[in-house]
Amino acid sequence: MENILGLVALACGLIVGLGALGASIGIALMGGKFLEASARQPELMNELQTKMFILAGLIDAAFLIGVAIALLFAFARPFAV
Amino acid sequence: MAASENAGTNGPSAGEYIQHHLQHLQKNFSFENVKQTSLVDFSVFNLDSLFYSVILGVLGCFVLWRAARKASSGVPGRFQAAVEILSEMVESQARGVIHNAKSRKLVAPLALTVFVWIFLMNAMDMLPVDALPVLWHSIGPSMGFSDYQRVVPTADLSTTLGLSVSVLLISLFYSVKIKGVGGWTHELMAAPFGDRFFLYPVNFLMQLIEFAAKTISHGMRLFGNMFAGELIFMLIALMGGAWAWQFNPLSGGFWLGIGHVIAGTVWSLFHILVITLQAFIFMMLTLIYVGQAHDSH
């Protein structure tokens, strides 16, 4: 039992940590490209901003779903009988 | 059942509190109290999600109807201006994605409805996480219902997948309407790899995978965001609950109260962004999927 709980805790850490890593890299790449693009062509800034927010939501979603699953494992314990 | 109310001898543990709050008020079709046992079970429905989503849909329609009824062509009031900004935003997004003016007549109002409805359903997250469940705790069981209540309809996978499947059906309808049955069948068979008869099964399989992936990710994205938000609000509420029965500055529990206020403020503020963004993304993807039904290969 303790063994399972310990492994679940490790799994939650991995889910949140790796998800955060991926989401941060994604947001950073996209934000950098957005700033670069709007410095080159400031007149496109508003149009690009809408698209950037959509993509930010898409990138964030995978991470937040991971957080939800990790929290579910930590509190609702579907695997511990 | 609020954790802070039962803080006496037999209060629920943190895990029990969360599990209790993740249980829907479920009924089967002869209106008996039941609990879902398997992952997919078509004999039960979640009464709480249905109730709140219908109430919020009616509310959204009523607010927009009032704005349309009282609209004047003179100087608009503040309310009319807000609704105009909203509908113009949706209209311009629809114009960017769907180039067929005739289908825009149906799809742009559909997108507006989707946006307003999902925004309202997401905004139920902004209510204190225990407010309506505690109210239900004092009304529901005495009327013969079970003591479960979840107030965010979009934190229910049934709601979000229902919405995304509806979007899939609409885009299939437009595929048939724009291209005709023959044209659409031809596209299903010949689309990604080319019009060779030995490629037909592969193409068809790819199309099926594409439809399934689009629909499932469409629904899961909204569900995952709202579910995570709701769970984190519950954890923040638990911090406050733990503080309420450890009211002693010398023990560590006292600082949970301060953590509760800070974390609650920060997460609520961030969540305002998340609920708006997710409603907007759901609307945009609805438009994009219907727009894809208009493209021919």
Interface pTM, i.e. ipTM = 0.71
**Is residue B50 pLDDT above 70, yes or no?**
yes
Interchain CB distance below 8 Å, A57 and B14: no
Q: Give A14→chain B minimum CA distance, Å.
A: 17
Angstrom CA distances, B76 to B63, B89, B91, B116, B120, stand at 16, 17, 19, 21, 24
pLDDT by residue (tens digit) across B76-110?
Answer: 888 888 999 999 999 988 988 888 888 888 899 99
Q: Give A59→chain B minimum CA distance, Å.
A: 10
Interchain CB distance below 8 Å, A76 and B15: yes
- What pLDDT was estimated at residue B220? 87
Q: Which residues of B, range 177-236, sit inside 8 Å of A by Cβ?
A: 220-221, 224-225, 227-229, 231-232, 235
**Is residue B189 pLDDT above 90, yes or no?**
no
Q: How many CA atoms lie within 13 A of B115 on its CB side?
A: 24
pLDDT by residue (tens digit) across B156-185?
Answer: 888 999 999 999 999 999 999 988 888 888
Q: Give B156→chain A minimum CA distance, Å.
A: 13
pTM of the model: 0.84
Do B125 and B270 meet the contact criterion of CB atoms below 8 Å apart? Answer: no
Identify the residue with better confidence: B252 or A5. A5
Verify whether residue B217 is a known catalytic residue: yes
**Is residue B201 pLDDT above 80, yes or no?**
yes
Number of Cβ atoms within 10 Å of the Cβ of B180 = 11
What CATH number matches the domain at A2-76, 3.50.50.60, 1.20.1250.20, 1.20.20.10, 2.60.300.12?
Answer: 1.20.20.10
- What pLDDT was estimated at residue B30? 78
What is the average pLDDT across B130-153? 84
Where are the alpha helices (H) located in B124-156, listed in sequence order? Answer: 131-139
Q: Mean pLDDT score of chain B, rounded to an integer?
A: 84
Taking contacts as CB-CB distances below 8 angstroms, the residues of chain B near A60 are 225, 274
Q: Mean pLDDT score of chain A, rounded to an integer?
A: 86
Task: Say what percent of chain A tops pLDDT 90.
Answer: 38
Q: Does A79 touch chain B (CB under 8 A)?
A: no
Taking contacts as CB-CB distances below 8 angstroms, the residues of chain B near A53 are 277, 280
Do B95 and B104 meet the contact criterion of CB atoms below 8 Å apart? Answer: yes
- The C-alpha atoms of residue B146 and residue B163 are separated, in whole angstroms, by 27
**Is residue B283 pLDDT above 90, yes or no?**
yes
Interchain CB distance below 8 Å, B280 and A60: no
| Residue A27 confidence class, pLDDT cut points 50, 70, 90 | very high
Nearest CA in chain A to B282: A54
- What pLDDT was estimated at residue B249? 61
Lowest mean pLDDT among B9-13, B134-138, B149-153, B173-177: B9-13
